[in-house]
Structure 1
Amino acid sequence: MTLPSLPSLDDLTDRARVVTCPLRVPFRGVTEREIMLLEGPDGWVEWSPFLEYGPEEASRWLRSALLLGWDAVSVAEPALTSVEVNATVPAVDVASDPELVPALLDRYPGCRTVKVKVAQQGQTLADDVARVRAVREARPGIAVRVDANTGWSVDEAFAAAVALTDPAQGGGPLDYMEQPCATVAELAELRRRLGSRGMMVRVAADELIRKASDPMAVVQAGACDVAVLKAAPLGGVDHVRQIAREVGEYGVAVTVSSALESAVGMYAGLLAVATLPGYADDEDMVVAPQAAGLATGSLYLEEVCAPRQIVDGRLAVEQCVPEEARLDALASAPQRRDWWLDRLAASHAVLAAQ
């Protein structure tokens, strides 16, 4: 995972700003995002691996940032000026506030697809069914994806697929179930069961791609219909393009998604979609990219720059420049900055050794 020229650690340290951005609602247990921003020669970039990630995993996120901040000329020119995005509904309790889901969806004007978080610890399938039903009632006809983040067994995932598509429970078609189970074998078994029942529910792989030593293993095993690709965890826009090309040879579709980046870091994902290798369907019609999971900026209560605006369900492919006043207002405590600088040194060492 080499770069043409790795910036020195001293250079990166001098350019680094560390901020803490609060979220509107908890997202996968996260209530705020600590982010390192770097002002590179080619623009501002973000390095924000989740706090529990070690140097090896975090180094892939660092490579992604450095590619755009220091070597943007190597990235393919975007073929699109904007990309279609999906709405995102966290694992909220709709019973406590029936207006919560409509209010969340209002932040995604024009979006025709929504991803709903399910299988949250401490919640039940009934909670998930109620949440998805609330989404369908608020936006009739919207395409629904559910994301379990490995939270189900095969039996639980199959039961969820049945319940969430049951009209008697307010269910309907599912675009796909994202990472319903933890292992390749479980996803393969779930796909087999769904197929044997004639259920047209695709299975998407996320964690089994972005956290795997071999991102292609789940695809080659025939365990998924959709590959969810995230630029930073996979090491950069160029790696997303490469993997997208490879999975396409297996007939697997691609959804580019975010890793809960800020408006600065979201540029990598937008650029990845806009530079995806084109492909055609069985009738040689050019297929547009699937709605991308890149509109997570609405989950932020405060950002370092003006929020990206969703227009007719799309986001513009453009870089964001942090505002100095916001950088100062959201600056992390000195001890957190020191922690991030130590972390930067560890991940930089991983890249330097490659």
Structure 2
Amino acid sequence: MIALDELTARAHFLSLPLRVPFRGVDRREVCLFDASTRWSEWSPFLEYGPEEAARWLAHAVDYGFGAVKATPERDKVEVNATIPAVDVRSHGLEIIDQLMQRYPGCSTVKVKVAEKGQQLADDVARVDAVRRWFAEHGHDGHGHEYPTIRVDANGGWSVEQAREAARALTEQGPLDYMEQPCASITELAQLRQQLARGQAPVRIAADEAIRKSANPKAAVRAVVEAAACDVAVLKVPPLSGIDTLLDIAHDVSEEGVAITVSSALDSAVGIGAGIYAAACVPQLCDGTGNPVRVQPAGLATGGLFAADVARRDIVAGHMHVEDVVPDPSVLEDCALTGERKDWWIRRLADAYAYLSV
């Protein structure tokens, strides 16, 4: 394993500005390694302790220093657009049009819902506005009446509220899935069972139930065993790496559960690793031999940054598999110094100690 001194010498600690606040901050602090195989990223959120951060570090080391066993099965990955909880009743289709310009060719759209201070009527208006935008514009300019729409509630609803939301949001068209509509695994299982019996069945995807767990790998198993989801939203860093993610994808597919590879608010370097991982996911089948479809990835999140370390283009709704090399000027302009740099160096040493165990 690479020595801590060498890892530290290869590290660049950065503070990247965000377009809108996330987790109460307006900048994303990241660590990039100029590694021997390719650039890699280690960016556990600031509140994470060393043991959890070590899982993220294991991925960064494996990816950057050539320890990943898996190889991509395709050269590009379909990605979804993301529409935040904007007020379309005040701004109309113009705000949807502005946002969709960031996602050329994307026909799968994740719409944020259950925002604090808003009502279900706001969510319905937002989803309907996306449908109307596609009817007028379409992802190829010719119009598509029904885009593939996902809604993401970030655990903001009760079972009853989520059931009512599913009814209201499917009146004008189907939903691909509801991502983390309720907070707990028990609630997700109850909702999934109730929706399966209803007139508008909607798939359930688990995100925070996995991501916020102290042991994400065990959480995936718990969610699947509880029959609480149809889709598991997986982020590579918390799972310690690409090979682990692929093992999980294979295991859950046996139960008919698909995966969506998603971003952990990564810079372009981390997104490159996510695209690599998504491209490695093979065509999987459930226990009866039926195919489990590869889901469009939630990796087109570069638009959340006001400045990123590199440009990652979306072409016809896809992002290509490629190693990402940061712009030297961004490495210089956004470099952390002083106490914040020292804090990250200490953090790296603390996480490395767990990595060595």
Residue among 146, 153, 156 paired with 1:148 = 153
> How far apart, in 2, do the equivalents of 1:29 and 1:97 lie?
25
CA drift at 1:29: 4.7
2:90 is the counterpart of 1:90: no
Residue among 113, 118, 121 paired with 1:123 = 118
CA shift digits 1:268-311 (9 cap, x unpaired): 21111111132258997866521111111122211112x11111
Paired residue for 2:140? none
> How far apart, in 1, do the equivalents of 2:170 and 2:231 lie?
19
Residue among 298, 303, 325 paired with 1:321 = 325
Q: Is the 8 A contact 1:227 1:253 kept in 2?
A: yes
- Residues 106-255 of structure 1: pairs in structure 2 closer than 5 A: 106-140=101-135, 141-167=146-172, 172-212=173-213, 213=215, 214=218, 215-255=220-260
Residue among 271, 276, 280 paired with 1:266 = 271
Residues 1:287 and 1:190: Cα distance change in structure 2 (over 3 Å): closer
Counterpart amino acid of 1:71?
A: G
CA drift at 1:206: 1.2
Residue among 4, 11, 16 paired with 2:11 = 16
- Residues 291-302 of structure 1: pairs in structure 2 closer than 5 A: 291-302=296-307
Q: Which moved more, 1:244-253 or 1:291-300?
A: 291-300
Paired residue for 1:45? 40
Local SS of the residue matching 1:116: strand
2:338 is the counterpart of 1:334: yes
Residues 1:126 and 1:336: Cα distance change in structure 2 (over 3 Å): farther
CA shift digits 1:12-68 (9 cap, x unpaired): 211111111122234465532111111111111111111222222222111111111
2:308 is the counterpart of 1:303: yes
CA drift at 1:93: 2.7
- What is the Cα-based RMSD across aligned positions, in Å? 2.0
> How far apart, in 2, do the equivalents of 1:100 and 1:19 lie?
31
Residues 1:283 and 1:233: Cα distance change in structure 2 (over 3 Å): closer
Residues 1:302 and 1:68: Cα distance change in structure 2 (over 3 Å): same
Local SS of the residue matching 2:195: helix
Count the aligned residue pairs. Answer: 342
> How far apart, in 1, do the equivalents of 2:121 and 2:25 lie?
23
Counterpart amino acid of 1:250?
A: E
Q: Is the 8 A contact 1:111 1:312 kept in 2?
A: yes
